[in-house]
Structure 1
Amino acid sequence: MDNVRRQFIKGGTALVAATSLYLLHDAGAKDQTTGQHRYAMLHDENKCIGCNACSEACRATNQVPDGVARLRIERTGPYGEFPDQYYHFSRVSCQQCEQAPCVNVCPTGASYIDPETGIVTVNSWKCVGCQYCIAACPYHIRFINPVTHAADKCDFCRESNLREGKSPACVAACPTKALTFGDIDDPNSAIVAALNQQPVYRAKEDIGTHPKLFRIRAKAGGITL
């Protein structure tokens, strides 16, 4: 059954990638997020030390197989002159777009925005492994899970910790509190308070995806605790 549902769609990746570009820039596109919550995350690059506790916690909590990752920390540098050198650490994971090209191109509805949480999600049973969503993602973070043979990515631990009323595993594991998670529609949430404290940026804002992964840009040298 698993093979049958994946065999009816093959190829056409380049065509769908081009289609996704049109859909992404369609001025008449409706907002895909209409639910009760709009969960988002803030990564403070000044506090991140690149320890990878977040990625290891993600792997353990969500049973992510070896060889692939829902979350990784990208290190760039060193910058500056010895001995005053420093690195920058950036989170690489699903951006949780409100205008998600991966959702637009999915032929089976396997990739969708959860109406209750606003989280971009993958229903692995519906996924046929066509990889259209992988081609359409402008952030290049989706992958095919070698166990389920379905598209996979970060979903803010929607099926694990969040379902149990806990914070995403990466947030709980971070030793420097570099991650803040919450509902950006709740004016009293910790993430709204954090977003109001200092300037933030989002990756590729100019292409109109409206990502919900916010970042505090790293300053030169070290971390701020």
Structure 2
Amino acid sequence: MIDIKKEIERDRRAFIKKVLGGSIAGSLLLVLPAGAVDIAEQIPGMREEKAVFTAKRFAFVVDITACIGCGSCCVADKAEYNVPDGHYRTWVERYIIDDHDNVFVDCPDGGLHGYIRAREGLPHPTRDTFFVPKLCNMCEKPSCVQVCPVGATYQTKDGFVLVDKTRCVGCSYCIQACPYSVRFISPATHTAEKCTWCYHRVRKGLLPACVEVCPVHARKFGDLNDKNSEVYKILHEPHVISVLKPDMGNKPALHYVGLRREVV
């Protein structure tokens, strides 16, 4: 009698070898992206992730003018997801500008321990310092979804970009495609991992963990279709509000208040 499970697994391994070997990579974009979402939503292990907020449009707002670089958001994220050391689903960068307009960017330990010491060894006195939290931009047009050869990275109907670890083969295509460098291969599961805006919490009506713990309320999260929500009011007030790398065409749902020209 034929063992169906073994036959499927053998075909799957053969397919992966061809993808990683480059023999069929060139044709993947022609046959997979259009149906990737439907496939991913139906596969085992992800049925519980069906959209429940189809009438909502979530957005994330980070206020750079308020962030103090304390690292509380990074600590909460690491605790919530047991993020492996040396990897970060969210991190905080420090930007330093000296009196000669030189820009220096550092991010020791992803900002996990905060920035309690001034950076040493700079050639000129510091004129200005500010902090920029980074996380998944939850794009409306995510390039990571387009390049995934097995439909493991997908977009829910309520706009969240997620990864099905039961399907991911660790090929790293999504990591290369992401213009914001928010993905990594987990050393524990050997699958792609990234920030999910705490989708499991949002489904229960809770805020993302990093938003919950921010002591200065520099992180905001909510529904743009709700005119009474804080994010709606912020994005419709006269602030300097921008997204990262708008020319990439990904249409991020992560917005920054006070985003400066020095930020990359």
Q: Calculate the TM-score normalised by the size of structure 1.
A: 0.80
Unpaired runs of 5+ residues, structure 2, are 1-5, 30-50, 101-123
TM-superposed CA distance for 1:145, in Å, is: 1.2
Aligned partners of 1:68, 1:6: CA distance in 2, in Å? 28
Matched, 1:38 2:62: no
Aligned partners of 2:192, 2:134: CA distance in 1, in Å? 17
Aligned partners of 2:192, 2:55: CA distance in 1, in Å? 25
Of 73, 89, 102, 2:144 maps to 102
Aligned partners of 1:49, 1:163: CA distance in 2, in Å? 29
Aligned partners of 1:167, 1:7: CA distance in 2, in Å? 42
Within 5 Å, which residues of 2 pair with 1:1-225? 8-10=15-17, 11=20, 35-80=54-99, 85-115=127-157, 117-159=158-200, 161-197=201-237, 198-217=239-258
Partner of 1:223: none
RMSD: 3.1
**1:36-73 alpha-carbon deviations (Å, 9 max, x no partner):** 32211010000001111111101111221222110000
- Taking structure 1 as reference, are residues 66 and 84 closer, same or farther at Cα in structure 2, changes over 3 Å only? closer
Q: Calculate the TM-score normalised by the size of structure 2.
A: 0.69
Higher relative contact order (CA 8 A, sep 6+): 1
Aligned partners of 2:13, 2:92: CA distance in 1, in Å? 32
Identity %: 40
Aligned partners of 2:228, 2:91: CA distance in 1, in Å? 30
Amino acid at match of 1:122: V
TM-superposed CA distance for 1:78, in Å, is: 4.1
Aligned partners of 2:13, 2:72: CA distance in 1, in Å? 35
Amino acid at match of 1:86: D
- Taking structure 1 as reference, are residues 37 and 7 closer, same or farther at Cα in structure 2, changes over 3 Å only? farther
Amino acid at match of 1:215: Y
Aligned partners of 2:248, 2:219: CA distance in 1, in Å? 25
- Taking structure 1 as reference, are residues 109 and 217 closer, same or farther at Cα in structure 2, changes over 3 Å only? same
Amino acid at match of 2:163: V
Amino acid at match of 1:170: C
- SS of structure 2 residue aligned to 1:194: helix
Aligned partners of 2:245, 2:256: CA distance in 1, in Å? 12
Native 8 Å contact 2:97 2:126 kept in 1 = no
- SS of structure 1 residue aligned to 2:133: strand
Count of matched residue positions in the alignment of Structure 1 and Structure 2: 206
Between Structure 1 and Structure 2, which shows a larger proportion of helix residues?
2
